[in-house]
Structure formats: structure tokens, C-alpha cells
């Protein structure tokens, strides 16, 4: 189940959500690219963080389950938690870095 989550691009979903919101700011709200990147990212940042934290809170108890299940699942859950944190940071920071003055990425 955890492998399925990673294979189905759960970590990349965060960046896609931010990118779609930036595109909405650019096309529908007719903002210039820089303000669309900043405004679109800022607008979705809290929702993105709350979704990431909810998933992390749901998975965290598996780290402390005890016994053999902990031995089996702790490394997998730890990896997924790290991937979720990294995906949130990348989704917020990368689009600031990757935008150009005349286009996004």
C-alpha cells in the first residue's frame, strides 16, 4: 500500500496543485507571470501544507506499532514521510526558482 502511494506520484501531486493554481492566476486573473507565481503559490500553500500534514499524521503511528510490524513498516513509513516533506518543500520553493520573467518553467 505504501509502495502504491509512492508509485502513484503522491509526492508529485503537491507540485501539480501549485502549478495549476499558478496557471489559474496567470490565465483567468490576467496577472503577470511573477505575481502569478507568488500569488498562486501563496494562495495554495496552507492547503498544501494541511494535506501533507494530514497524511503524515495518519502514517506516523505506524512508526511506533511495536514488534515485528514495526520492524517491517518503520523504514517504509519513514521513507514516505521524508518524501512527503521533500515534496512539500519542492512544490513551494521550486516554482519560485524555475519561473522566468516571460514564462513559467
| 103 falls within a domain | no
| 27 falls within a domain | yes
Q: 55-80 burial string, b = 16+ CB within 10 Å, else e?
A: eeeebeebeeeeeeeeeebeebbeeb
| 24 falls within a domain | yes
| 41 falls within a domain | yes
Q: H helices of 1-105, where?
A: 2-7, 10-27, 33-59, 67-98
pTM of the model: 0.74
Domain assignment of residue 89, given as a range: 6-98
For 71, the grid coordinates are: 520492524
CB 87 within 8 A of CB 52: yes
| 104 falls within a domain | no
| 42 falls within a domain | yes
How many Å apart are CA 78 and CA 56, to the nearest integer? 10
Over the stretch 12-38, which tens digit does the pLDDT of each residue have? Answer: 778 888 888 988 998 998 898 888 888
pLDDT top residue among 96 and 42: 42
Over the stretch 39-68, which tens digit does the pLDDT of each residue have? Answer: 988 899 999 899 889 989 998 998 888 899
| 57 falls within a domain | yes
Mean pLDDT of the chain: 82
Number of domains composing the chain = 1
Amino acid at each position: 500500500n505504501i509502495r502504491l502511494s509512492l508509485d502513484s506520484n503522491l509526492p508529485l501531486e503537491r507540485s501539480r496543485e501549485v502549478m495549476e493554481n499558478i496557471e489559474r492566476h496567470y490565465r483567468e486573473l490576467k496577472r503577470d507571470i511573477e505575481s502569478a507565481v507568488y500569488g498562486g503559490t501563496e494562495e495554495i500553500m496552507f492547503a498544501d501544507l494541511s494535506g501533507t500534514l494530514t497524511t503524515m499524521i495518519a502514517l506516523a503511528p505506524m512508526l511506533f506499532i511495536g514488534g515485528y510490524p514495526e520492524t517491517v513498516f518503520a523504514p517504509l513509513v519513514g521513507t514516505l514521510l521524508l518524501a512527503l516533506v521533500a515534496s512539500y518543500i519542492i512544490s513551494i520553493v521550486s516554482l519560485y526558482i524555475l519561473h522566468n520573467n516571460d514564462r513559467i518553467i
